């Protein structure tokens, strides 16, 4: 018997493709005829070798990565990378540039400074409560890297085009929009993404590192905090989060074989976001919180014309099987996260509900 499914707009852990969940359900007790669950299979077995190697190869194909990149899976989430990145790459009197677009980039800056690293904030959108992506950015010519957050789940902003940093490698937190669109990977030295927003469940961070960045890693770091450890041992120095990696593998398979690649996924994501933003822009009952040219295709943040109604809006939405619409506690308001696995049917169900709520309360 199939369980009743709601429309899931949660920011993370977030919606996963139904076909992926069904495949997990079908194979959970007997993975690949092993007689064991995927949660029981040894990470040293051929069964799991096939899983992680397939996940790596699919990542490389989807993102068009050449042999200069390693794909790693690291525990600790994206937040662990906030300290590991400067620990591994930034030494001596060297400087790193950070663009502060709020919350996650702000945390990353803090973690670098805790270690006494030299951080140059090349630009910030704090002056307007992080409601836009900066355009006038003063990157340092000799910086070790330039750190950006491609999409801000809380503020609802996203880089539509990545900045030109010259010869300085971009280090990018793509936790909430990885695999949502195609892009040129060549300017990036390091990409990382907590899985639980767009590619899998919580418990693992996908890290994509350009091999020349590994030359920056000092030997004297603790073993489990060195990217060279994960690269040299193919993410298996210790027991990796096998179930999370297995789910990522299935999501990547879905992206490749069911969706048809990132170019097609990007078109679908643009259509979903356009439908929701166009509806909000057509009246004054709902108001997007970000500037138009910085709007996220993944996290649509908005307020109601009367803030006192927002609590009722969220509560009634749950009664109508629309979950996860409460804004982050740090900013309030409302938020609809429309990641890859969120369908257009769900987005249309949301706008239908929004019309109905407005007709009663407008």
Indicate which residues carry an active-site annotation. 104, 173, 197
**Distant-in-sequence, close-in-space partners of 315: CB < 8 Å, separation ≥ 6:** none
Query: Residues 294, 133: contact at Cβ < 8 Å?
Result: yes
Can you tell me the distance from the alpha carbon of 216 to that of 87, in angstroms, rounded to the nearest whole number? 10
Tally the residues of the chain: 362
Sequence-separated contacts (24+) of 237-241 with Cβ below 8 Å: 239/43, 240/43, 240/52, 240/73, 240/75, 240/204, 241/73, 241/75, 241/203, 241/204
Instruction: Name beta bridge partners: 95.
Output: 118
As separate numbers, helices (DSSP H) first and strands (DSSP E) second, the chain gives: 9, 14
Residue 78 CA, distance from chain mean position: 9
**9 secondary structure, DSSP code:** -
DSSP 202-271: SS-EEEEEEGGGGGG--TTS-GGG-HHHHHHTTT-SS---HHHHHHHHHHHHIIIIII-SHHHHHHHHHH
């Amino acid at each position: 018997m199939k369980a009743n499914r709601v429309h899931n707009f949660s920011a993370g852990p977030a919606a996963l493709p139904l076909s992926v969940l069904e495949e997990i359900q079908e194979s959970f007790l007997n993975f690949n005829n092993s007689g064991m669950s995927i949660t029981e299979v040894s990470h040293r077995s051929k069964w799991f070798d096939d899983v992680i190697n397939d996940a790596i190869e699919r990542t490389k194909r989807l993102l068009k990565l050449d042999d200069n990149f390693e794909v790693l899976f690291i525990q600790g989430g994206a937040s662990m990378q906030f300290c590991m990145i400067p620990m591994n790459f930034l030494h001596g009197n060297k400087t790193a540039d950070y663009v502060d677009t709020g919350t996650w980039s702000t945390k990353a800056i803090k973690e670098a400074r805790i270690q006494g690293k030299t951080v140059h904030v090349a630009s910030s959108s704090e002056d307007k409560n992080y409601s836009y992506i900066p355009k006038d950015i003063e990157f340092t010519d000799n910086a070790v890297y330039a750190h950006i957050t491609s999409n801000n789940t809380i503020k609802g902003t996203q880089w539509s085009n990545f900045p030109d940093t010259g010869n300085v490698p971009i280090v990018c937190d793509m936790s909430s929009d990885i695999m949502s669109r195609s892009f040129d990977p060549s300017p990036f030295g390091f990409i990382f993404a907590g899985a639980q927003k767009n590619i899998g469940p919580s418990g693992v961070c996908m890290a994509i590192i350009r091999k020349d960045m590994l030359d920056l890693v000092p030997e004297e770091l603790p073993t489990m905090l060195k990217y060279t450890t994960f690269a040299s041992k193919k993410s298996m120095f210790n027991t990796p989060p096998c179930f999370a990696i297995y789910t990522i593998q299935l999501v990547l398979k879905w992206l490749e074989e069911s969706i048809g690649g990132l170019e097609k996924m990007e078109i679908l994501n643009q259509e979903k976001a356009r439908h929701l933003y166009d509806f909000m822009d057509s009246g004054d009952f709902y108001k997007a919180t970000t500037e138009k040219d910085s709007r996220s295709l993944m996290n649509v943040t908005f307020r109601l014309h009367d803030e006192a109604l927002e609590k009722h809006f969220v509560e009634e939405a749950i009664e109508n099987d629309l979950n996860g619409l409460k804004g982050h506690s740090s900013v309030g308001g409302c938020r609809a996260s429309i990641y890859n696995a969120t369908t257009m049917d769900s987005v249309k169900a949301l706008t239908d509900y929004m019309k109905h709520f407005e007709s009663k309360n407008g």
